[in-house]
Chain A
Amino acid sequence: AQSVTQPDIHITVSEGASLELRCNYSYGATPYLFWYVQSPGQGLQLLLKYFSGDTLVQGIKGFEAEFKRSQSSFNLRKPSVHWSDAAEYFCAARPAGNNRKLIWGLGTSLAVNP
């Protein structure tokens, strides 16, 4: 079955430290991949997306993600975390060419220590 797994439920990092949030997918073919952020009391916001081509994609707020087909992964990274990055992060995937149902991970909650 198609699925998206975020292995880390909760992560705490210090401000200024680097960050990597993991995402693995299980699909028959390479899906479209997305990372969203949900800040407290706010709606979901798209950070970045991967459809095809360059496997390293740049997003907003200094985030990037790398698609690795061999590992079925699409990990989110940021070289230096800011306190305002504390939020819930969701990885999502959908089959290429079908926009009907995004499959979502359960999310990773990020806390940032001053």
Chain B
Amino acid sequence: GAGVSQSPSNKVTEKGKDVELRCDPISGHTALYWYRQRLGQGLEFLIYFQGNSAPDKSGLPSDRFSAERTGESVSTLTIQRTQQEDSAVYLCASSLNTEDPPLHFGNGTRLTVT
């Protein structure tokens, strides 16, 4: 079946521009996560959505970062006024519910800020 889909797969942007990254989770998965993976680093939690509950935004590194999710479907991660340190692979993952780890990952969006 279809997995987690992320778009675009690659994004190059100029410093100061805004970018929007998209994630389509597996159908029926109520939990959705965004992670950041910098080159040579482990995964850094950004934000978590679970159904209609308030999202856990505790991992967002600054107020330039925000994310939304429409119901239990698509999510978008927005980075405003991008900086070079935002360059990373942004990974989205989904799970059936909070009691069903593990997570199913998309292939990520590689963001390069020039």
Q: Which residues of B contact A43 (CB under 8 A)?
A: 3-4, 91, 105-108
Instruction: State the Cβ distance, B96 to closest chain A Cβ, in Å.
Output: 10
Of B41-49, B60-68, B78-86, the stretch lying at the interface with chain A is B41-49
| Most A C-beta atoms less than 10 A away, residue of B99, B100, B103 | B103
Contact B31 A107 (CB under 8 A): no
Asked if A44 and B95 sit within 8 Å, CB to CB, the answer is no
In terms of DSSP, what is the predominant structure of the interface of chain B?
A: loop
Chain A, 61-73, contact with B by CB distance < 8 Å: what is the 0/1 string? 0000000000000
**Do the beta carbons of B105 and A44 come within 8 Å of each other?**
yes
Asked if A49 contacts B102 (CB within 8 A), the reply is yes
Bound-state CA distance A90–B93 (Å) is 15
Size of the chain A interface, CB-CB below 8 angstroms: 22
Task: Say if the beta carbon of A42 comes within 8 Å of chain B.
Answer: yes
B54 to chain A, nearest CB (A): 12
Q: In the assembly, what is the distance between CA of A98 and CA of B101, in Å?
A: 10
Interface residues of B (CB under 8 A from A): 3-4, 31, 41-43, 45, 48, 50, 56, 59, 91, 93, 95, 97-108
Known A94-B101, A99-B100, A101-B56; 18 more pairs at CB < 8 Å: A32-B101, A43-B4, A43-B107, A43-B108, A44-B105, A46-B102, A49-B102, A92-B43, A98-B98, A99-B31, A99-B98, A99-B99, A99-B101, A100-B48, A100-B50, A100-B98, A101-B48, A106-B41
Counting from the closest, the 4 A-B pairs by CB-CB distance are: A104-B42, A43-B107, A44-B105, A99-B98
